[in-house]
Amino acid sequence: MLTEDKGGVEIRLVSQDNGFNFNSVAVNPLRIDPRYSLSIQTIGRIERLAKVRFVTAETTPSFDPAKFDKNDEDTRRSIALSVFASSEIEGEGISADYIETFVTAHTEPGEMVDAELRERIQTHRDIYDTYFWALNSQPEQVLTYDFIIEAHRRMFKNTMGQVAGRIKDKEVRIHWHRRDGLLVDVPTISSEQAEEFLRSLCDRTARIFMIAKESAETSMLLSSAEFACDFLAIHPFLDGNGRLARLLSTYLLEKGGYHFARVYPLDQIVMDSRADYYETLNASQQYWHLPQEDLTPWINYFVGAVFEQWERAFRRIRNQAAYAKESSKNKLYTKSY
């Protein structure tokens, strides 16, 4: 049995006979029954975000809904922060200085950098590049199985070897410590069922996004939240599922018109509230395979996190606008004088 410590979260690979097998007949990610209830606060946030989702990004000078500009300084900085925060959540972060020097600029570390740090820099660089690849993709169907496989391959091609972009071939159980110190055991879908469930999840998500374009009654934000919870319950890869799930969440939100990642990353919100992130995820996955399934804790957390992302993005844009206005006034004053 192989155990990896991921910043308080242990990923355990277990033998086949100890794996947790879900009943693929009784459980299918395509189910569309109500799986959660929405609080008044969450409903209010969803309605507010639906009104402002396009407006925020359009206030930035280089905004193009079809393009994630790698040359735009704000976008580049936001994605770099996203990569840093996502890896920090997994306990594998590197300093912001390294991100700026070696990842965004693609410069090579010197001989004084040890092998472990060099590998982390490479991982961060690959994830950074994958963000831009994914966010600039324009597939006919918003999400496909092949897209996810390719995203994982790109993210970990230099650090996972042949398992990058390959569905897990061993059973995986996740163990993590709650705030009260209790060790929580979280089963995941068996390796035999992982591909089937992932394909089904992609089809469901793409279908909901297509419906949402025509109907205000269907929320792409809620579909993105459901996707993240289901994806992590399936846990299709041996490693890297958390970072890929957060990348795909950003991708789905971007495709849904929630363009806040261009200004402020969702991963930073998750890092700032990681205890709530893990606890609401675990609470919602506890009965994921049973009739009493209830995703309410996770849905409320996810919507709240995106709402906080929008608020921080809006404050950043407002502060930048105020700074630019003040600078312009100073220039005019100096010229007049």
Residue 246: CA atoms inside 13 Å, Cβ hemisphere, count? 30
pLDDT tens figures, 75-131: 777 888 888 888 788 776 666 666 666 666 666 655 555 676 777 777 788 888 898
d(CA 37, CA 60): 35
Which residues are designated catalytic?
235
Strand order in the sheet with 183-187: 2-6, 9-14, 171-177, 183-187
pLDDT tens figures, 231-260: 999 999 999 999 999 999 999 998 888 888
Give domain 2-15+36-336's CATH number out of 1.10.3290.10, 3.40.1210.10, 3.40.50.880, 3.40.50.2000. Answer: 1.10.3290.10
User: What dihedral do alpha carbons 264, 267, 273, 278 form, nearest 10°?
Assistant: 160
Write down the mean pLDDT value for the chain. 78
CB atoms within 10 A of CB 246: 25
Q: Which residues pair with 185 in a beta bridge?
A: 175
Q: What's the token pair of residue 251? A: 């991708």
Answer yes or no: is 277 a known binding residue: yes
Answer yes or no: is 134 a known binding residue: no
**Largest interatomic CA distance in the chain:** 82
Task: Give me the pLDDT at residue 64, please.
Answer: 62
**What does R_g of the chain's alpha carbons equal in angstroms?**
21
Answer yes or no: is 245 a known binding residue: yes
**H or E segment to which residue 76 belongs:** helix 73-89
Q: Which residues pair with 289 in a beta bridge?
A: none
The answer to whether 82 touches 268, Cβ cutoff 8 Å, is yes
| AA identity, residue 142 | V
Q: Look at residue 12 and tell me whether its pLDDT is greater than 60.
A: no
Answer yes or no: is 242 a known binding residue: yes
pLDDT tens figures, 254-313: 888 888 887 888 999 999 999 999 999 988 988 887 778 899 999 999 999 999 999 998
Task: Give me the pLDDT at residue 20, please.
Answer: 36
d(CA 250, CA 82): 10
Task: Give me the pLDDT at residue 123, please.
Answer: 79
Task: Give me the pLDDT at residue 67, please.
Answer: 63
Of the candidates 155, 171, 153, the residue with the CA atom closest to the CA atom of residue 163: 153
Of the chain, the end-to-end C-alpha distance in Å amounts to 75
**DSSP reduced 3-state for 172:** strand
Answer yes or no: is 26 a known binding residue: no
